[in-house]
């Protein structure tokens, strides 16, 4: 499974960005897709995940400003980010998994893409 993320960049505080990630390759039975991020000097953390049926799981600190969505026909997952803050600055990683337990995605997924950098200036 290959995951190609795009949409990162530099944005001012209060602005919005939309990340996109498309899966290709052996994508049969991929159920979970999601986003993680790693701020500078910090650990990797879950942002949000979504099942093939549209069930979502968000990190508590991000659920009011971020929206995850998915286009199964295009094998693509999106992360719409609003009201961005400097502390949202991070490398954002797309991930996918064939598992069914969305509650367990905090520990990671089986397939990872290269990250896309989001920088929020104050």
The share of the chain scoring above pLDDT 70, in percent, equals 100
**pLDDT at residue 28, rounded to an integer:** 84
> Could you give the angle at the alpha carbon of 50 between the alpha carbons of 68 and 63, nearest 5°?
45
pLDDT in tens, 91-119: 999 999 998 888 888 888 999 999 999 99
Query: Which residues does residue 49 pair with via DSSP β-bridges, in sequence order?
Result: 34, 57
Which residues, 6 or more positions from 102, have their beta carbon under 8 angstroms from its beta carbon?
A: 32, 49, 50, 51, 55, 56, 57
Has residue 47 got a pLDDT over 90?
Answer: yes
pLDDT in tens, 72-92: 999 999 999 999 999 999 999
117 φ/ψ angles, rounded to the nearest 5 degrees = -85, 130
**pLDDT at residue 59, rounded to an integer:** 94
**Which run of H or E residues covers position 76?**
strand 76-81
Closest of 114, 110, 112 to residue 98, by C-alpha: 110
């Amino acid at each position: 499974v290959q995951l190609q993320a795009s949409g990162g960049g530099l944005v001012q505080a209060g602005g919005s960005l939309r990340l996109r990630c498309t899966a290709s390759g052996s994508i049969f039975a991929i159920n979970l897709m999601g986003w993680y991020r790693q701020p500078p000097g910090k650990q990797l953390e879950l942002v949000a995940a979504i099942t093939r049926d549209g069930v979502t799981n968000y990190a508590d600190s991000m659920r009011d400003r971020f929206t995850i969505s998915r286009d199964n026909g295009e094998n693509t997952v999106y992360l719409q980010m609003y009201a961005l803050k400097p502390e949202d600055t991070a490398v954002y990683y797309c991930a996918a998994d064939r598992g069914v337990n969305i509650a367990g995605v905090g520990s990671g997924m089986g397939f990872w893409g290269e990250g896309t950098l989001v920088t929020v200036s104050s």
